[in-house]
């Protein structure tokens, strides 16, 4: 039985030397340190590696209905990550931010707070903290406010914080 490993996915794609274009991009993590995660930048390769490379055994055994079920069941999670990438890109294109990334508390923390998008404005006095949901009805303002307070205490204590929920409706 195989388990999904994002680092292995990126490593496998990095080793494919015949692909001569940008396979992955850096995703800055705002933790006060230089932590960086890598992600597949090309949307086609992201989809291909997530489903066709990972479930190659289903293709080889011609069990395409099982693969279709996996894709259908996983699509909400996959499209949520894709939506985060979309909104980070829109923020970059706005030229209003000097830094855009994500944030989560360390592994040692009892709370596992994670913020989808954090943007530091050019004036270095304001920050945008955003949650991304496919459907706005799934947004839980009270829970989000708890996460915002955690990031405020840890790294954004000197910033005026603006909060937002991005969804498909904001595209």
DSSP track, the chain: -----HHHHHHHHHH-TT--S--EEEEEB-SSS--EEEEE--HHHHHIIIIIITTHHHHHTT-HHHHHHHHHHHHHHHHHHHHHHHHHHHHHHHT-EEEEEEEE--TT-SS--EEEEEEEETTSSEEEEEEE-SSGGG--HHHHHHHHHHHHHHT-TTSEEEEEEE-GGG-
Could you read off the pLDDT of 70-102 as tens digits, one per residue?
999 998 888 888 898 899 999 999 999 998 888
User: How far separated are the first and last CA of the chain, in Å rounded?
Assistant: 39
Distance CA 102, CA 166 (A): 14
Average pLDDT over residues 142-168: 90
Q: Which of 47-51, 71-75, 166-170 has the lowest mean pLDDT?
A: 47-51
Distance CA 91, CA 43 (A): 18
**What pTM was computed for the model?**
0.70
What per-residue confidence (pLDDT) applies to 133?
92
């Amino acid at each position: 039985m195989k388990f999904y490993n994002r680092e292995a996915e990126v490593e496998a794609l990095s080793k494919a030397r015949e692909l001569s274009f940008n396979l992955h991009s850096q995703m800055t993590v705002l933790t006060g340190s230089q932590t960086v995660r890598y992600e597949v930048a090309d949307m086609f390769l992201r989809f291909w590696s997530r489903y066709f490379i990972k479930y190659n055994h289903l293709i080889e055994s011609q069990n395409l209905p099982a693969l279709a079920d996996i894709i259908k069941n996983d699509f909400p999670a996959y499209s949520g990550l894709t939506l985060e990438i979309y909104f980070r890109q829109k923020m970059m294109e706005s030229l209003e931010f000097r830094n855009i990334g994500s944030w989560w508390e360390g592994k040692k923390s009892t709370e596992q707070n994670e913020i989808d998008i954090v943007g530091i404005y050019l004036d270095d006095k304001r920050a945008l903290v955003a949650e991304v949901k496919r459907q706005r009805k799934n947004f839980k303002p009270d829970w989000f406010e708890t996460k915002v307070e955690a990031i405020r205490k840890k790294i954004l204590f000197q910033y005026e914080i603006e909060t937002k929920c991005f969804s498909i409706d904001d595209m």
